[in-house]
Amino acid sequence: MVQRRGFTVFLTGLSGAGKSTIADVLIEALESSGRDVSVLDGDVVREMLSSGLTFSRADRDLNIRRIGWVAGEIVRHGGAVVVAAIAPYDEAREEARKLVDRYGTFVLVHVATSLEVAEQRDVKGLYARARAGTIGQFTGVSDVYELPSSPDVTVDGSVGTPADAAQQILDHLTAKGLLD
Amino acid sequence: MVQRRGFTVFLTGLSGAGKSTIADVLIEALESSGRDVSVLDGDVVREMLSSGLTFSRADRDLNIRRIGWVAGEIVRHGGAVVVAAIAPYDEAREEARKLVDRYGTFVLVHVATSLEVAEQRDVKGLYARARAGTIGQFTGVSDVYELPSSPDVTVDGSVGTPADAAQQILDHLTAKGLLD
């Protein structure tokens, strides 16, 4: 039986950049085309994979390594995965790439919404709390976000709609021969 | 594109029961038949999924829930998974079953080697250490192993070879229409 080539779309960017919104549109488009998708976003990961981890660098790295490993095992069987995670460290993202590339294709999408725009939105009120000092180690405010050294796609959540960004990713997947 | 039905074979039993040995034979047979397998056994799980967890009941439950969730996501895409874990609590095993059954078939295999035989082998020297009190909460010695309430297959690692046990599992998978 011929197996489809599995792939993982990994959206990285600041809190409030629009990762989950873009992921939702992307997932809906993939499922409409008959492709089931495993979603590894903040909530499910925190609940199912990484409960108990902190926001220290070591724990963040472990979190991304776990996500990468699970994504790799799914891709191995021809599955499609969408990850939405801040994932501020380039080395951890590239380690996730390696764990997936063994078995399929890893597509790193930088949701490059600026800090100003993300902070202005502040949908969850987290930036306000970070500025007030009631949240420590908050990416973009009191902790670093390393720009991706080798993104496969870059979208800007402050320009165009989430649907535009999702289409840009779908176009990339099509160009790579990953969609039917 | 037609997708194969995914399945998870979950081997539970005491330390030294022969779970990993049976799993190795089973995995080789599945791979020889052209079926790729994700292996979630003690080592890889401790390294990739559950580093930092203890052997408390809460952490053991969390470990099995994580395994069940990851297995479910793999099975969702038609993949095959083999788990080898002591998994002493029936409720946690049945929770893993639910997480997999949403997407495919869960096959619980009780490797019912007796404590006497497992302890006599004591390949890793763990029983000796548990009896000496230098390991706490050791299943079968200082911690409970709840018998599976609804095993799909029961094999006895002290009767017959690991190949016999693996064949019993393959026969079950064939009868369920899970192998080509």
| Mean pLDDT within B100-122 | 96
Mean pLDDT score across all residues of chain B: 93
CB-based contact A73 B77, cutoff 8 Å: no
Residue B72 vs residue A51, higher pLDDT: B72
B chain contacts of residue A49, beta-carbon cutoff 8 Å: 49, 66, 69-70
Contact (CB, 8 A) for B9 and B52 = no
Task: Give the C-alpha distances (Å, rounded to integers) separating A95 from A153, B48, B80.
Answer: 18, 13, 25
- Our CA-based measurement puts residue A63 at a distance from the nearest CA of chain B, in whole angstroms, of 9
Taken in order of first residue, the domains within chain A and their CATH numbers are 7-175 (3.40.50.300)
A74 touching chain B per CB within 8 A: yes
Distance, first Cα to last Cα, chain A = 16
Q: Report the pLDDT value the prediction gives residue A136, as an integer from 0 to 100.
A: 83
Q: What is the pLDDT of residues B119-135, one digit of tens each?
A: 999 988 999 999 999 99
Average confidence (pLDDT) over A164-170: 97
pLDDT tens for residues A10-34?
999 999 999 999 999 999 999 999 9
> What would the pLDDT profile of A121-147 be if each residue is shown by its tens digit?
998 899 999 999 999 889 999 899 999
Task: Determine, for residues B66 and A48 on separate chains, whether the beta-carbon distance falls below 8 Å.
Answer: yes
Average pLDDT, chain A: 93
Mean pLDDT of B103-120: 96
Interface contact flag, A38 B76, Cβ < 8 Å: yes
Res. A3: pLDDT tops 80: no
Q: How confident is the model at residue A43 (pLDDT cuts 50, 70, 90)?
A: confident
Distances (CA, A) of A47 to A37, A88, A175, B66, B175: 18, 20, 34, 9, 36
| Position B146, amino acid | E
ipTM of the complex: 0.90
* Residue range B9-65, pLDDT digits in tens: 999 999 999 999 999 999 999 999 999 999 999 778 888 898 888 888 999 999 999
Contacts of B51 in chain A (CB under 8 A): 62
Reported as a single tens digit per residue, the pLDDT across A58-86 is 999 999 999 999 999 999 999 999 999 99
Closest chain B C-alpha to A131 CA, distance in angstroms: 31
How many C-beta atoms lie closer than 10 Å to residue B133's C-beta? 10
Q: What is the pLDDT of residues B135-167, one digit of tens each?
A: 988 999 989 999 999 999 999 988 889 999 999
Per the DSSP assignment, residues forming a β-bridge with A38 are A81
Whole-model pTM above 0.90?
Answer: yes
Q: Which of B73, B74, B76, B83 to mutate to test the interface with A (most CBs of A within 10 A)?
A: B73
Residues A87-99 pLDDT 10s: 999 999 999 999 9
Q: Which of residues 20-39 of A touch B (CB under 8 A)?
A: 36, 38
